[in-house]
Structure 1
Amino acid sequence: MGAVEELVEKAGGCAVIDGGFATQLEALGADINDPLWSAACLITRPHLVKEVHLQYLEAGADIIISSSYQATIPGFLARGMSVEEAEGLLQTSVKLALEARDEFWKSALRQSKPMYNRALVAASIGSYGAYLADGSEYSGSYGADITTEKLKDFHRRRLQVLASAGPDLIAFEAIPNKIEAQALVELLEEENIQLPSWICFNSVDGKNLCSGESFADCLQILNASEKVAIVGVNCTPPQFIEGLITELKKQTKKAIAVYPNSGEVWDGRAKRWLPAECFVHKSFDALAKRWQGAGASLMGACCRTTPSTIRAVSKILKGRAGH
C-alpha cells in the first residue's frame, strides 16, 4: 500500500487537503501583489509560510501543499537571482512544509491527540499559465508555438528539484489543457519520478477543462500512467464539483481529489477577485459530505478559503473539531 492509500485508510476513507494558501498569507499581513504570488514569501517572509502550514495542520489537514505553485526558476531569475538561489528556494518551499508537519506531529504525540494523522507533504507544481501570470491558467490558451516538448522543458528542472527535496508526493495543480497533461505524464516517465503524483485540472463551466477540452480525453492519458496515482479538480467553483466527481468516476479508477475555490472568480488580467453569483464559503462542510458520497477520497479547498473552512470539512468528514 502506498503512502497516500495508507493515509486515506487511516483517515477513515477520506483524507483532508489544506485550503487557500495565499489567502491566509494575506490574513497574516503578507503582501503577495507580485508575479511570484505566494512564492514571494519564500524570499521575504518564510516564517509566515511555515505558520500557514501549521494553521492548516491544526485545522485538521491530512495533506499540506508546498508554497511552490507559482515558484519557478525563470520567475526567480527574473528577480535577479541565480539558478542556485532559485533552486534553493524551491527546496525551501518543501523544507518549510516538512518542518511544520514534523513539529506539529511531535506536538500532537506529546499531547496525545488521537484525532490527527501524520500529514503528508505535497510539492506543488503550478501550470505554465501560472508562471505567465496573464490569466491563461484559467483559459488554457498558451499560443500556437507551445508544444509538449516546450512544456516538458519548462517543468523539468523544477520537478527534479522539488522531488529531490523530500516531499511525500507531487501535486500538479490547476492544469487547464490537454497538452500540458500530456507533457506532465511524459515527464514523470522520462524522469522516472518514484513519488506518487496527482494531476488536478480546473474548469470554469463544470463540464470541460478551461481550454474547452473534455475530461474524458485527458483522463485517457492519465489512466495509462502508473506514475499518476490521483486525478482531480482544483481552483474550480464548488457548485460544479459534485457533477465533476460523477463524471470522473465514469472515466477513471484512480483516486479522486477535489479542492475547489470559494466560488469567486479570479480576473487574471485585472489581478482581482470578482464576487461569486452564489458564494458558498460557509457550506463547504455540507458540500464535502456530498463530494465524499459522489466518490472523492481526498478533499480540501483552494483560493479564498481559510483554516476555518478546513476545520469545518475535517469535522464533518471525520467527526473531529480539528483543534
Structure 2
Amino acid sequence: MNSLIILDGGTGRELARIGAPFRQPEWSALSLIEAPHFVSQVHQSYVDAGADAITTNSYALVPFHLGEARFDAQGESLAALAGQLAYDVSRQSARAVAVAGSLPPTCGSYRPDQFSKAEGRRILGPLVKALRPFVDHWQAETLSALEEAELVREMVGDDGKPLWLSFTLQDDELAADGARLRSGESVEDAARLAIELGAAALLFNCSQPEVMAAAIEAAAQVVRSKGAALRIGVYANAFPPQPKDAEANSGLDDIRADLTPPHYLDWVKTWHAKGASIIGGCCGIGPEHIAAIAQARHTLEGKAA
C-alpha cells in the first residue's frame, strides 16, 4: 500500500469557529474579502496538526456564494489570493506540505440536476487560471456526477499537475447495490472514469462516514481489475445524513456530537485497512481530528505494511 497522505480538514467551519468574518451567502469567501489573515491561520493550524496537504480556500468562489457581479469582477483575483495564502503557508513549513487547488462544484453542491457544462466552463476558467501558479495538484471537490469530472479534466488540461477527483455520495441511505454518487451513478463507474481521465487519485468527500467504506471497496476492486496506479482517498463530513434535495453550504447544519477525534480515527482505521491511502476531513472535521490521524500515522502504516 502507498504511504499515507494526510489532508487537512474543513475550512469554512474552522473559519467560523475561530471568529473569522462568516455569513451567508459569501460563506468561506468572506474571509478572503475582509480578513485573509484568518485563512492563513486555518492553513497553519492544519500544518501544525500534521497535514501533508492544505487546500486552497476557493470552494466558495462561485456565483452561488459571491453573486454574479462580484464573481465577474473579483472571482479570479480572489482565487489568486486563495492560492497565494496556501502557497505561502506551505512553503514556510519546515517539512514538505503540498497545496491542493480546490475546484468546487460550479452549479450547486449535491445538485447534479443543476449542472451545466457551459456554465461550468465559465466559472472554472478564471479559477483554474488564477490557482495554477500556486498549486501542486488539482482537487476537484464534492462532485456529484461523472460529467462534472469530465469537465474538470477538460478545464485543467494536461498541465503536468496531478488531478484528484473527489465525489460526494448518497448518504441518506446506502443503496442495495452499493455506494452511489448523488447522481445515482455507481462508484465503479466513477473509478473507471478516473482511470480513463488519467487522474492520480479518486476520493470521496462531504458525505457521512458510514457510507465511505463501501465506496472504497468498490473503487479498490476496479483499480485492482484494471491494474491501475490510482490512489483512493476519503474525507468525510460531520453532518447528519443529507437528503437528496439538500444543497451544501446553504446553511450551518448541526455537527454530530459522536464524531470526536478518537471516534473519527476509528473510521480512519477502517478506511485505511480497506485501501484508502489519502485521508483527511471535510465540513466539521477540524485540526484536532487531523492531529489524531497524524499521531496514529506510524501505527496505520505499520499495520498496512
- Normalising by the smaller structure, the TM-score range is 0.7 to 0.9
Q: Against the structure 1 CA distance between its residues 246 and 99, is the aligned structure 2 distance closer, same or farther, given a 3 Å change threshold?
A: same
> What code does the residue aligned with 2:188 have?
A
- Report how many aligned residue pairs link the two structures: 284
In structure 1, list runs of 5 or more residues that go unmatched. Answer: 1-7, 106-116, 131-136
Q: Does 1:258 pair with 2:247?
A: no
Offset at residue 241 of structure 1 (A): 1.4
Alignment of 1:1-323 (within 5 A): 13-72=3-62, 76=66, 78=68, 80=70, 83=73, 85-105=74-94, 117-130=95-108, 137-142=109-114, 146=116, 148-163=117-132, 165-189=133-157, 192-205=158-171, 206=174, 207-226=179-198, 228-252=199-223, 253=228, 254-265=230-241, 268=247, 271-274=251-254, 276=256, 279-282=258-261, 283-318=263-298
Q: Against the structure 1 CA distance between its residues 263 and 80, is the aligned structure 2 distance closer, same or farther, given a 3 Å change threshold?
A: closer
Which TM-score applies when normalising by structure 1?
0.80
Deviates more, 1:212-221 or 1:255-264: 212-221
SS state at 2:93 partner: helix
Task: Give the percent of matched residue pairs that are identical in Structure 1 and Structure 2.
Answer: 24
SS state at 1:268 partner: coil
Residues 217-238 of structure 1, C-alpha deviations (whole Å, 9 max, x = no match): 2332221122x21111011101
Which TM-score applies when normalising by structure 2?
0.84
Q: Against the structure 1 CA distance between its residues 319 and 104, is the aligned structure 2 distance closer, same or farther, given a 3 Å change threshold?
A: farther
Offset at residue 75 of structure 1 (A): 5.5
Q: Against the structure 1 CA distance between its residues 53 and 319, is the aligned structure 2 distance closer, same or farther, given a 3 Å change threshold?
A: farther
Offset at residue 193 of structure 1 (A): 2.3
Q: Against the structure 1 CA distance between its residues 239 and 23, is the aligned structure 2 distance closer, same or farther, given a 3 Å change threshold?
A: same
CA distance in 1, matches of 2:102, 2:56: 5
Q: Against the structure 1 CA distance between its residues 29 and 317, is the aligned structure 2 distance closer, same or farther, given a 3 Å change threshold?
A: same
Instruction: Say if 2:169 and 2:182, in contact at 8 Å, map to a contact too.
Output: yes
Matched with 1:113 is none
In structure 2, list runs of 5 or more residues that go unmatched. Answer: 301-305
Offset at residue 142 of structure 1 (A): 0.9
CA RMSD of aligned residues (A): 2.5
